[in-house]
Amino acid sequence: MSPDTDRADPGKPGTSTDRDLHELAVKQAALGQVRGAAAVDPVNVPMIRHWLDAMGDTNPVYLDQGIAPPAMAQVWTMQGVRRAAGQHSPVDDVMSALDAVGFTGVVATNCEQVYHRYARLGERLTSAIRFDDLAGPKRTALGEGYFATWTITWHAESGEAVAEMMFRVLKFRPPPRAVPREPYPLRPAVNRDTAFFWDGVRQGELRVQSCADCGELRHPPGPICPHCRSANRAYRIAGGEGTVYSYVVHHHPPVPGREPPFVVAVVALPEGVRIVGGIVDCPPEAVGIGMAVVVTYRQMDDELVLPMWAPREP
Amino acid sequence: MRTLREDQVELGAVLPELSIELTPTVVVSTALATMDFTPVHHDVEGARAQGSADIFLNILTTMGLVERYVTDWTGPAAVIRRINVKLGVPAYSGDRLLFTGTVTSIASGEITVEVRGKVSLGDHATGTVALVLPARR
């Protein structure tokens, strides 16, 4: 299978990437328990006291008897602020392989701890990590992903296991996030007289205001019919074709959001009104009076759609 | 100090609720006390840049709080054997974490408490804590 096919769909069951991931997982699991470095500090009172204080845990048994809260097991072998280089576990390779094929999201799903006994003051614990299992790909609410499971065991100096933890994470492919577009800086003034027009534009309709009494069309929209002075308004949907009645080629001054030179035209509609709009999809020198144009709706940003005019095919 | 004995626990017993105000101080102090310096647990800007609403509790703290919740109820004589937690929605700073619990099994000296930690978004942690209590005197 070609590498391109893998990249296109790395998590599909049976694809070579999916097979590679499972093969790697089996290989890592076969390593068995891999010992890490011993804890920097032995089980000690200040860290226990600090932990109890932060948790709000007033159980006196730990400091009275010189034992560590069992849920602190992992704390003893946590790396500090500056992660020690060269610490490498069988889990790391699986995680990196998943990252490399796009399963970059991670969320822990299960944490199961078994305490064989409580760790005692002065004991220096060592962790050992074993990769258990990779399951997937599976569809999840977060996206497609693999469940990776491993077990950490904490040993005393004698080698005795004090505690162990099964930990499972979902490594998922984050769904592509829509990148919000830069808002287009020129916004039309939308008011109660003009809202119907912009509502239409969003639906791909070129709406022209009409008088609900005499039927006369008018554009731009206004509150009163200039013909019969009625305030009753309606609209008609124009066919979307027109001809250039007049135009300007704008070179200067600069207009935010526009790249000069650009053409703004007055377009005469066969319905009988004229409408102002930009001419797109042709160089300015190709625009002329009488040119046949057709409306086109341009998504300017995430919200704004503007009607513009493009040359009509003859 | 009050501490439960095995014969004082009945199947179906309900634990007193524990409500924890997740102030930034709680989130940050527990992250540091558990030696977890991942930025999402102390750096609000960093957490937001990763798409989180705010800083949130780390898992070591969730485990610690589950343990605390149960031992608050049992008293100091309990010995915790296992904590199994299924992790749900994040527990964000500014939210409140409410623990509830019920005794769901008592078998050969081992008591299992089912624990649920809820935040405003839903279940943050659900699971069980298995423990042993001193026998009747």
Cis peptide before A137 (omega within 30 of 0): yes
Question: Is residue A182 a part of any domain in this protein?
Answer: no
Same structural domain, A246 and A147: no
Question: Is residue A155 a part of any domain in this protein?
Answer: yes
Question: Is residue A181 a part of any domain in this protein?
Answer: no
Confidence of residue B48 (pLDDT cuts 50, 70, 90): confident
Q: Where are the beta strands (DSSP E) in chain A?
A: 34-38, 105-115, 126-140, 143-155, 161-172, 207-211, 217-218, 233-237, 241-250, 262-268, 274-279, 292-299, 305-311
Q: Is A49 on the interface with B (CB under 8 A)?
A: no
CB contact under 8 A, A112 and B20: no
Question: Distance from A249 to chain B by nearest Cα, in Å?
Answer: 43
Partners of residue A81 in chain B, C-beta under 8 Å:
37
Same structural domain, A157 and A237: no
Domains of chain A: total:
2
Question: Is residue A178 a part of any domain in this protein?
Answer: no
pLDDT digits (tens, 9 = 90+) for A207-265: 999 999 999 999 999 999 999 999 999 999 999 999 999 999 999 999 888 889 999 99
- Structure pTM? 0.70
Partners of residue B81 in chain A, C-beta under 8 Å:
114-115
Question: Distance from B76 to chain A by nearest Cα, in Å?
Answer: 5
Boundary-marking domain end, from A111, A141, A172: A172
Q: Find the domain containing A125 and state its range.
A: 3-172
Partners of residue A112 in chain B, C-beta under 8 Å:
82-85
Q: What is the pLDDT of residue A85?
A: 54
Question: Distance from A70 to chain B by nearest Cα, in Å?
Answer: 7
**Domain CATH code at residue A14:** 3.10.129.10
Residue A16 has pLDDT above 90, yes or no: no
Boundary-marking domain end, from A172, A203, A231: A172
Concatenate the DSSP letters of all residues of A96-118 into one string.
HHHHHTT--EEEEEEEEEEESS-
- Residue of chain B with shortest Cα separation from A39: B35
pLDDT digits (tens, 9 = 90+) for A22-64: 999 999 999 999 998 899 999 999 999 999 999 999 999 999 9
CB contact under 8 A, B87 and A109: yes
Same structural domain, A156 and A229: no
pLDDT digits (tens, 9 = 90+) for A146-163: 999 999 999 999 999 999
- Domains, chain B, with CATH or none: 6-132 (3.10.129.10)
Q: Is A40 on the interface with B (CB under 8 A)?
A: no
